[in-house]
Structure 1
Amino acid sequence: MTFKIMNVPRTLLTSALIFSLGLFTPVLYVVKPNVASAQSVGASVSTAALGPSDPQEVAAFMDSFFARPEVKAALAGASVVIVNDGKVLLNKGYGYANVETKKPIDQSHTLFRLASISKTFTAMAVMQLAEQGKLDLDLNVNGYLKGMKIANRTGSPLTARDLMTHTSGFDFTDIPEDEGDPDGPVYRLDTFVADHMPTVIRKPGEAFRYDNYGYNLLGYLVECVSGQKFEDYIEKHIFKPLGMDNSRFVYTSELAAKLATPYDASGEPIAQYTTYPYNSPDGGLMSTSGDMARFMLAELNGGKLDNQAVLQEKTMQAMEQYSVSIHPDIPGVGYGFESSFPSFNNGQFVIDKSGAGSGFQSQQWLLPKQKTGLFIALNSAKDARKMRSLLFQSFMDHYFPKPITSPPSYMNTLKSELQYLEGTYSDLRLPAWHYEVEATNGGLLVTDAYGVHELKQLKDLLFIDDTGRLAAFKKDDKGRIAYFEYNKADSWSERLPDVKLYADVPLDSPYAKDIRYLRQQGLLEREDPLNFNPEQSITRAQFIGWLIPTFGIKLSEEPIMFKDTMNSPYAAEIQTALEGGVVTGISKGTFEPNRSITREEAAVILSRLLQLGLGIMPSAEVQLKGQTDAWALDGVQHIVASGYYGPEVTPDADGAFDYRSKQPMLRQEAAAMIHRYP
């Protein structure tokens, strides 16, 4: 692993993933339902007299938006662009590039990190090489990689098209180390690709899972095919032709003065940082709103600006499509584009790309048929996703109002006709996120971390909830139901296999469903295959061994630090937890892996994992009774308030909970805790 070479602490998930998977606040990919945001299925909208046109009116609209109290309260600084029909109608800064010094935002020179918007540029570079006949989008990428080979267990080739649409089939798509000390050693792209090389375990092109590593691999592909460094290629073939004079992929000390100061969610400034690899094709872009205005104008003009073409019109149009969708009625992903807030599209065809890194968030939206674009860059994480969401919704409602449509027509389907969809579906990117699907007459009941949702059937494999959010299923190439998509838009969920319960777990046990879930997730493969021993205590090693894989990250390959875990079957999981700050050990380099874990220890570990891995902080306090050690009190409060426990914990008449913190955690209780989060 490279975190030791880079001399930065390993984190369980990249900063971008933390921002995109914050599950209990509205963030980038996990979108909490919004009754006012439903998009009608099959709605068609007249394009007459729609869209922004008058610069003064556009400025008044945007000024009004940034004057809203909830926006002002969250704002550090923002740079915003609106383009339409080949013209820049607005390019304006709000707030400050540095709050402490009140440094204003210069639209031409203030740089923002745009994080994953980088992927659109990387995809454009790939499409340029395909236009020139130097790269075939449908050939095995191993034929282009110099001195490297991606392991593939499927028998189906991995192509550049698969990588651009996040359908690589990789076992791991996120790298823990993506940001670090700018004064540290340079982490080369080829080294990064080799260090973190995943394996293709799912047929490429079959299922969507947001893929940061895949876009770094695409950047390396650009280097191999073009013979140029990735950043040099982008400079020569995109930045320079489009006049994007202030855009860069590589951080240097000279850029520090031009970069807006980033702020965390609490408003504290963050030191400037570099990205790993140093030129990050998946997230290294730094740019200004002025440069992004020029980029959007080219995107909306068939790849051309000021008589300089970066793509042929047909190629640009191919990028601006949903190349992969779970159902034709649900927006999906394209080459370097996605659909983050489809419920706000108001019947229009919209593609977008967002970016999130430490202290920076950004997003561009394009309406190609309307030749309209919207862009925002923010230098604070505070309510940033909410601000981007609110901006897009306000923009669409103002300039492209929701059409008047008739109520949807539901299918009158019998429960027995829908039972083939029942089961547990686990998210491909974050396995802990899962859905329980149960058939009813006319629809489905879907249970997730938000609660229970009633879905009604619209079409074959297509459903809608009472807020207007769509859900759909997909069959595999053998005609079996394999995937589900609903309210977490950064990946699909796969159907988990049916499994038998253990001989010592009765079907009517209140923990039977929890234990079955662990077995479905494959978390018990190193355990006794016949008996679960539900009322035995669980060891510290076993608890970590069950918990860490639910995050969907590659386990550490570093030397084992706890000397007493060397022979543990869960040594890699414990080492991964240590590197992520989830566990700290006992004393003198030991972990005591075979000791029973106490309930308060388990609560603290899960609380740390939620905070460090997903950015989910304690949001409420509950009344506790019984004895809990002071060092564990916050963790126990976090877990009890979140409901991550089984039937062994109930409130008394006064609403107080006895978590039995000092007692050993039983195996069935650990199963309940893991099943119920996040």
Structure 2
Amino acid sequence: MFDQRIRLIGSVALVVALLSAPLTVTATPTTGPTATPSAYASTSVEQVDPTTLTETEAWFDETMARQLEDHRVPGAAVVLVSDGEVVLAKGYGYADVESQRPVDATETVFSIGSTGKLITWTAVMQGVEDGRLELDRDVNDYLTDSSVTVPDTYSEPVTLEHLGTHSAGFEDSFAGMVTDDPSEIRPMEEILAEHRPARVRPPGEFVAYSNYGTALAGHVLAEQSDTTFTEYADERIFTPLEMANTTYAQPLPDELEPRRAIGYTSQDGEYLAHDPVIWTLPPEGGSLRTTAGDMGAFMIAHLNEGRYGSERVLEAETVHEMHRRHFTKSEAVPELNGMAYGFIEMDRNGETIVGHWGDTPRFKSVLALYPERDTGLFVVYNAPGGQAARFELLQAFTDRYYPESDTPAVDPPNGAAERARELAGDYRSLTVSESSWERVLGVMTRTFTVEATDEGYLTTTAVADDTRRWVERRPGVYDEVGGSDMLVFRLDEDGDATHMFRHSFGPSTYERVPWYERLTVIQAGLGVGVVAFLSGLLRWLGEPVWRRLRGGSVGSDRERAARWLLGTVSLLWVIVLVIFLMAWINFNAEAASPSLALRAGKVLRYVALAGTVGAVVVTGIAWRDGFWTRWGRLHYSVVTALALLFAWQLSLLGILPL
């Protein structure tokens, strides 16, 4: 018995060590673009012509070389188009570090993540042109022969308009998006039907980015076209645009595999190569592989009102429809970026910009069109450092070629301090899961903590984002100090802030959470719970040692059973927390194939909850029958109460669905 307890002590020590390990997540972007002034921007305010090849190439050469070094990225590819022509298409660094194979913008095949969604929405709009689809029609009308349906949770139906603006009201979910084995890829219909996310808000109310929504739109198109989505894209988009190096096929065709860019992470000064992620829902964009050169052709078609050479993929009116705003997040602040159709508004420096960015665990990309300038920029990187680098490049390019002339405010106006204090709190993205353990990813990494300074500034902090300072432009509207981003707050009829919007992150809405859901409260609750559990384990496991050193009675069978119950519950809760923390750290792998530990954790969480309920009952018995000393009963009661609190905190994180 004593040896068993010693082994348990060793297990607890391992749990504590895991809890203290630093957390890093390599999943989807958590905070979006930073829109801060780039270190690569020119200090000149004189506008430069981006079509001057010599000057433009020299600037890109210098900028990209610094970016690859600063952000620890092996390679990247850039294409710049203007006036219907490719101005620059160039690779930088290595597609394969080991073989020293360089990146070639027209030959090297990259994964571009959700930037590929623009292919999906272009295809959907072809269906609208053909008369097969209508943007304002219930998508269920197109799914009569499919096992995929959208439940009638709300009276308002979900339409393609909602899907194209990410305002359908789905919860966030990664389930079914990736797999470990290409042989496990199933028909898109099966995956969409099996992993349908819940509808958690009425459509058209708020923007909340949805991978599922885009995949559903692609499925609707395929159902009405009597073909697969990948075959449709090959025939109707890739072929007419001469995108010969672009495919959804997994694994890559033999002719493209030797030209595939390898994805890397930087570790201890070295680049660690990774196998490609296997995606299962082509319209979602993750499985699209392409070259920068091919994306240049796509941009030219969109900037040339749907025409590429002698081919036309969209009518001019349809292109304009895709590029115009379809969802305004704040009627009171029309300059706040919203959603076009499929395209995200990305305006900077007063310039109209629409595009999309994409993320996989190792590849980061962004496509930006300047329709009024007839110019487009695309860049892709093969390491996580590209997440920040792409937006720095976009800002630097905009600053250099289309500079801002206005001087931003730097000092808060009168009364700003009081107004700022009213806005302080935690604001969480609506792009979170509401019904699975994946919620922990959204709660922990997509929450912005807003605080007020005595001078009247706001500051924001979030995981994987630097602390930033904001100055009031007018009540409820704040400009980033030293940057080009903007925060906008929505107030209710009582003047209380309910939601927050970010100019640089169009496809998301941040909802103010109550005090008990603030990150500091949740983290404090979990921390106090762990300390309480460790004290309970110490008392339970250390009791034999204490008796040997100081003597004393063994206690009744019921008293010992009560200690065993609370000790077991304490150990289970710590183990459950560690399992789900590790699942969060290894989120991509768990999303592809849940580990045995995660599957066990899903069972143990309910065992621990049942044990906690039992401990509540035993607490009452202990006080009634006078177990132990008064201090012993009090300790038992406190640990049990904190176990209940701990369970509630885990439910807020989605780890314990109740």
Structure-1-length-normalised TM-score: 0.67
Structure-2 change in CA distance of 1:358 and 1:513 (3 Å) = closer
Distance 1:136 1:594, change over 3 A: farther
For 1:340-384, what per-residue CA distance to the aligned partner results, in whole angstroms no more than 9, with x for missing partners?
A: 6x5xx2221112211122332222111111011111122333x11
CA distance in 1, matches of 2:373, 2:142: 38
Matched residue, 2:616 = none
Please name the residue that 2:501 is paired with.
485
What is the CA–CA distance in structure 2 between the aligned matches of 1:157 and 1:478, rounded to whole Å? 31
Secondary structure in 1 aligned to 2:443?
Answer: coil
Residue 367 (structure 2) pairs with residue 364 (structure 1): yes
Q: Percent identity?
A: 28
Correspondence list, 1:469-484, <5 A:
469-474=485-490, 482-484=498-500
Correspondence for 1:373? 376
Q: 1:466 aligns with which of 461, 471, 481?
A: 481
Distance 1:592 1:299, change over 3 A: farther
Q: Which whole-Å CA distance do the structure 2 matches of 1:497 and 1:301 have between them?
A: 48
- CA deviation digits over 1:146-188, x for unaligned, max 9? 3432123221111111111111111234336424323x23321
Alignment-derived partner of residue 596 in structure 1: 570
Tell me if 1:332 matches 2:338.
yes
From the superposition, tell whether residues 16 and 325 of structure 1 become closer, same or farther in structure 2 (CA, over 3 Å): farther
Match of 1:260 in 2: 261
Give the equivalent residue in structure 2 for 1:387.
389
- The whole-number CA distance in structure 1 between the counterparts of 2:469 and 2:393 is 29
Which amino acid letter does the alignment assign opposite residue 326 of structure 1?
K
Of residues 503, 513, 517 in structure 2, which corresponds to 1:496? 513
Residues 104, 365 of structure 1: alpha-carbon distance in 2 compared, 3 angstrom cutoff:
same
Once the two structures are superposed, residues 417-474 of structure 1 have per-residue CA deviations (whole angstroms, 9 ceiling, x without a partner) of 7887565432212233434557899967566447986654434532234345311123
Q: Hey, what does 2:447 align to over in structure 1? A: 434
Find 1:104's aligned residue among 102, 118, 136. 102
Q: Which of 313, 321, 342 matches 1:310?
A: 313
What aligned pairs does 1:230-241 form with structure 2 within 5 A after superposition? 230-241=229-240
Correspondent of 2:582 among 594, 608, 611: 608
Deviation at 1:125, TM superposition (A): 0.9
1:79-116 deviation per Cα after TM superposition (whole angstroms, max 9, x unaligned) = 21111111111111222222211223343332111111
SS at match of 2:259: coil
Alignment-derived partner of residue 638 in structure 1: none
Deviation at 1:201, TM superposition (A): 1.9
- Say whether residues 1:269 and 2:281 are aligned partners: no
Q: What secondary structure is seen at the aligned counterpart in 2 of 1:216? A: helix
Mapping of residues 141-160 of structure 1, within 5 Å: 141-145=139-143, 146-160=146-160
Contact 2:142 2:224 in 1 (8 A): yes
User: For 1:83 and 1:362, how far apart are their aligned partners in 2?
Assistant: 16
Separation (CA, whole Å) in 1 of partners of 2:214 and 2:71: 35
Per-residue deviation, 1:57: 2.2
Moved more, 312-321 or 599-608: 599-608
Distance apart, 1:667 and its partner CA: 5.2
Separation of aligned partners in 2, 1:516 and 1:112: 39
TM-aligned CA deviation for residue 601 of structure 1: 5.9
CA distance in 1, matches of 2:316, 2:533: 64
Give the root-mean-square deviation of aligned CA atoms.
4.5
Matched residue SS, 1:242 = coil
Query: How far 1:197 moved relative to its partner?
Result: 0.7
Q: 1:263 and 1:64 mapped to 2: Cα distance?
A: 22
State whether residues 305 and 320 of structure 2, in contact with CA within 8 Å, keep that contact through their aligned partners in structure 1: yes
Letter in 1 for 2:96: N
Answer whether contact 1:167 1:208 (CA < 8 A) is retained. yes
Deviation at 1:34, TM superposition (A): 5.5
Return the letter of the residue paired with 2:401: Y
Q: Contact 1:324/1:332 (CA < 8 Å) preserved in 2?
A: yes
CA distance in structure 2 between the partners assigned to 1:127 and 1:479 by the alignment: 41
Unaligned residue ranges in structure 2 (runs of 5+): 1-23, 432-441, 537-564, 590-637, 654-658
Unmatched segments (≥5 aa) in structure 1: 1-14, 24-28, 39-45, 502-510, 524-531, 541-590, 616-662
1:68 is paired with a residue of what secondary structure? helix
Q: What whole-Å deviation, never above 9, does each CA across 1:503-546 have from its counterpart, x for those lacking one?
A: xxxxxxxx99827998xxxx9xxxxxxxx999965999xxxxxx
Higher alpha-carbon Rg:
2
Q: 1:423 to 1:671 in 2, by over 3 A?
A: farther
Question: Any residues of structure 2 matched to 1:187-586 within 5 Å, and which?
Answer: 187-252=186-251, 253-254=253-254, 255-266=256-267, 267-277=271-281, 279-327=282-330, 328-339=334-345, 345-381=348-384, 383-405=385-407, 407=409, 412-413=414-415, 424-429=426-431, 430-432=442-444, 433-435=446-448, 445=458, 448-449=461-462, 455-459=470-474, 461-468=476-483, 469-474=485-490, 482-486=498-502, 489=505, 491-496=508-513, 514=521, 537=533
Letter of the structure 2 residue corresponding to residue 187 of structure 1 = R
Taking the aligned partners of 1:51 and 1:334, their CA distance within structure 2 comes to 27
Cα separation, partners in 2 of 1:173 and 1:127, compared to 1, 3 Å: farther
Q: Which residue of 2 aligns with 1:124?
A: 122
Task: Please give the alpha-carbon distance, in whole angstroms, between the structure 1 residues aligned to 2:58 and 2:321.
Answer: 35
Matched AA of 1:66? M
Query: What SS class does the counterpart of residue 74 from structure 1 fall into?
Result: coil
- Residue identity opposite 1:52 in structure 2: P
Contact 1:80 1:92 in 2 (8 A): yes
Higher relative contact order (CA 8 A, sep 6+): 2
Match of 1:58, SS state, is helix
1:588-667 matches, within 5 Å, as: 595-597=569-571, 604=578, 608-609=582-583, 611-613=585-587, 666=642
- SS for the counterpart of 1:200 is coil
Could you tell me whether the CA contact under 8 Å between 1:534 and 1:668 is conserved in 2?
no
Matches within 5 A, 1:27-176: 29=32, 31=34, 50-68=48-66, 71=69, 74-145=72-143, 146-175=146-175
SS at match of 2:379: strand
* Cα deviation digits, residues 310-347 of structure 1 (max 9, x gap): 1111211221234334332222332222256x5xx222
Tell me the CA shift for residue 124 of structure 1: 0.7
Q: Distance in 2 between matches of 1:262 and 1:370?
A: 33
Give the CA deviation at 1:135: 1.0
Work out whether residues 38 and 392 of structure 2, in 8 Å CA contact, stay in contact via their aligned partners in 1.
no
For 1:88 and 1:459, how far apart are their aligned partners in 2? 42
CA 533–664 in structure 1, closer or farther in 2 if over 3 Å, else same: closer
CA distance in 1, matches of 2:515, 2:92: 54
| Per-residue deviation, 1:260 | 1.9
